[in-house]
Structure 1
């Protein structure tokens, strides 16, 4: 007999860094936020989360995510905080620190682009390897939710991670799932725990964080 649990997952991307503005691949380099450029987005994110009450917070262990979490003021003293290396950005290997114009003539870079990230980056990861570590992390989220009765969880992570989660939960293409810095997505999820093996996350609803205001209003 299958059992299920319901979790609201709010995932936000870190704020702006110097490498974001320079359009450099950051990957797993530990690049801090850029001030004052990051401040407006972080304050908007704080306002969007101010009335939210989370049962647990998961954050990439890289500095830019921990800084974003601190600015959001969402990690209350009594809320469990998990610093999670599996929530790091895709490892861009030899591409890290470089911009498109430095890479565009390289055959392996063109092949990686054409594969929609499925090829492994030299010295780095493939999208499949990123999915594997997110699979393992999501299984742990389910275990924590069941053990500690978490119903609402905040995740502070990176653009590539959120794109992979959107591809999983919203069934859109990887390149279509971009979110801007200090923004993210909210998903209403159900985890079905099947007796024959590990469970499955299903999404019933998704929305932007902060909520996007229509220009026609």
Structure 2
């Protein structure tokens, strides 16, 4: 018998790091937040989430996401928290720690840019590999939500992950899916399971986190 599961997913990007300001590819390097630069964004995120109660929280296991989650103060007593390697940033391989000017003349870098991120980065991942691990995470999220009654879920993750989720749920171009540090997106999702047991996510609504000042009520 076909069934549907309704879930609200809030995904936020970690706060500012030194490598963000230097415009270096961070990827899966375990770079901490930069203070005091990160503080204003983190406080705004805390305020935006202050009145929200989540049924489950997932977070990348890299420290910049752990620090962001601690500042957001979203973890309440009894709410399960999972540190999730599948929510890590795209592995930028040989590009990690480098800036555009160090890479722009390399043929494989130009080819990667021209492929809209689809090619595999030398020593790193392709967009397809990122999608594969996100598919696995989203399937597990659905299974946990069905089993434990999770209806509102927070994910603290990275810019490339949110960009990929926006492409999936909002059907926008990959390069248009950027969110700045300590901000994110809110999606109202339906997980539809057909009679053969195959599940598929569909998005009915999306908005910015924190909410835009000029957004309609």
**Could you say which residue in structure 2 is the equivalent of 1:188?**
188
1:29, distance to aligned residue in structure 2 (A): 0.2
Q: Cα deviation per residue 1:55-85 (whole Å; 9 max; x = unaligned)?
A: 0000000000000000000011210000000
What is the rounded CA distance, in whole Å, between the counterparts of 2:5 and 2:197 in structure 1?
A: 16
- Structure 1: give runs of 5+ residues left out of the alignment: none
What is the rounded CA distance, in whole Å, between the counterparts of 2:84 and 2:175 in structure 1?
A: 24
**Could you say which residue in structure 2 is the equivalent of 1:111?**
111
What is the rounded CA distance, in whole Å, between the counterparts of 1:214 and 1:7 in structure 2?
A: 25
TM-score by length of 2: 0.98
**Could you say which residue in structure 2 is the equivalent of 1:99?**
99
The equivalences for 1:1-217 within 5 A come to: 1-214=1-214
- Structure 2: give runs of 5+ residues left out of the alignment: none
TM-score by length of 1: 0.98
1:92, distance to aligned residue in structure 2 (A): 0.1
Q: Cα deviation per residue 1:20-42 (whole Å; 9 max; x = unaligned)?
A: 00000000000000000000000
**RMSD over aligned Cα atoms:** 0.9
Equivalent pairs counted in the alignment come to: 215
Three-state SS of the structure 2 residue aligned to 1:91 is coil
